[in-house]
Amino acid sequence: MEKQKTILKEVPYSGIGLHTGNNVTIKLKPAQENTGIVFIRTDLPGSPQVKADISNVISTIRGTTVGLDEKTSIHTIEHLLATLAVYGIDNLIIEMNSNEPPIGDGSAKHFVELVKKAGITELSAEKKQGLTISSPIVYKNGDVLITATPSDRFHIDCTIMYNHPLLKNQFLSIDITPETFEKEIASARTYCFDHEIEALKSKGLAKGGTLENAIVIGAKKIHTQLRYEDEFIRHKILDLIGDTSLLGSSLKMDITAIKCGHKNNTEFAKKIYAEATGQKLTQNKSSWQIPEGRIVDINEIKATIPHRYPFLFLDKVIIVEELKKAVGIKSVSADEPFFQGHFPERPIMPGVLIVEALAQTSCVLLLSKSDLKNKKLAYFMSINNVKFRKPVLPGDTLYLEIEVLKAKQSTGMIKGCAYIEGKLATEAEFTFVLVDKPS
């Protein structure tokens, strides 16, 4: 039987995170058998640990993030995890003094070099029995298709398709071994289109992105010299390896993937887990994933609703689905004026203001469409089933999830939930009416 593996010696690496832009030093440290791959956030009180496991995924927006909650999270882990998986490293401590591994040049090349520098050693325990599949597994989401079939190897056939003059369809079929990974996959860099950059930054992403660590594709030229003619498909395979490695076992299967990405990769991994074990994956109960959507910044918020300081309780809003679902974001500062009297000895955000923040998010959702903006006002007719489950304190970030339950032409019902660190703080239901804005 094959033995479990770790590294021979500790190795450090420093750099900048692609999305957070934070400077970070990571230390890869040998670990005992049956430890697994464990991240340790040394910058947080108590140095919390997060295991690299599919049940700990809390976000897949332009990268894969694991965590106990948003505060205790590690972003963009897929390149590092892919490297560890390919070299068969089962046990490793990854100490980090920030929340995202260094992006390096946008590939996994630096992680390959780091593992080689550390060396690999076998432990006395045998590898845990990996997930095995006895029949094909098919995952489909719209035009995304990912399948897995039983095999005695790890092989990937991958296809990407774009409607772009410089990037059309690409296909690659490859056996995944340490040798092929190092030669054909590890050096492939992350990429984006230049028209996406502004939107990414508005979502708080790509803060550390440069032409030195990402391929940027313009309408008429690629702003970065390619390492491979088909570097884009190679990087998609890199991401797919890293995401599926969260299953925590050696993957012996043939994977066929069409238009894959982080969200679908991890959902595919969950389906493998469910079908291989006969058990539904138990998701981290404390996790709450920030959804993707259109960003409404503070200037557009002010253009949409009449609220102003000190009674504006939103920093930005994510429109997940027009007129149906949105998430407001409010960073609660210690300088908030209401903390002066509520209460000076133990500042707590008044529950009525949390409800007001939910209501303001609802207004932005309802009035953000161009045919309603500056033409309508939203008035609330009732507030029901309000529950306060967790205090909101200075330094917290409120995530205000709004969903329209019923809607007619000018009236409707809304469900609002406020979260802190993935935990429910407040919930309420509203009924509203839209009226013409006075001229």
Closest CA to 186 of 239, 149, 262, 142: 239
Check: CB of residue 151 under 8 Å from CB of residue 254: yes
Closest CA to 205 of 21, 78, 14: 21
Who contacts 331 (Cβ-Cβ below 8 Å, separation ≥6)? 315, 397, 398
Q: 3-class DSSP state for residue 84?
A: helix
Closest CA to 363 of 349, 382, 376, 350: 376
Check: CB of residue 337 under 8 Å from CB of residue 287: no
Who contacts 403 (Cβ-Cβ below 8 Å, separation ≥6)? 324, 325, 414, 415, 416
Who contacts 228 (Cβ-Cβ below 8 Å, separation ≥6)? 187, 188, 234
Closest CA to 134 of 270, 264, 277: 277
Distance CA 176, CA 432 (A): 56
| Paired tokens of 299 | 């200037």
What residue type is 275 in one-letter code?
A: E
Give buried/exposed letters for 261-299 (b at 16+ CB in 10 A, else e): bbbbbbbbbbbbbebbeeeeeeebeebbbbbebbbbeee
Please report which residue ranges of 245-345 form alpha helices under DSSP H: 262-277, 298-304
Q: Tell me which residues are annotated as active site.
A: 262, 342
Distance CA 432, CA 359 (A): 10
| Paired tokens of 324 | 């149906």
Who contacts 32 (Cβ-Cβ below 8 Å, separation ≥6)? 6, 91, 123
Check: CB of residue 417 under 8 Å from CB of residue 427: yes
Check: CB of residue 120 under 8 Å from CB of residue 276: no
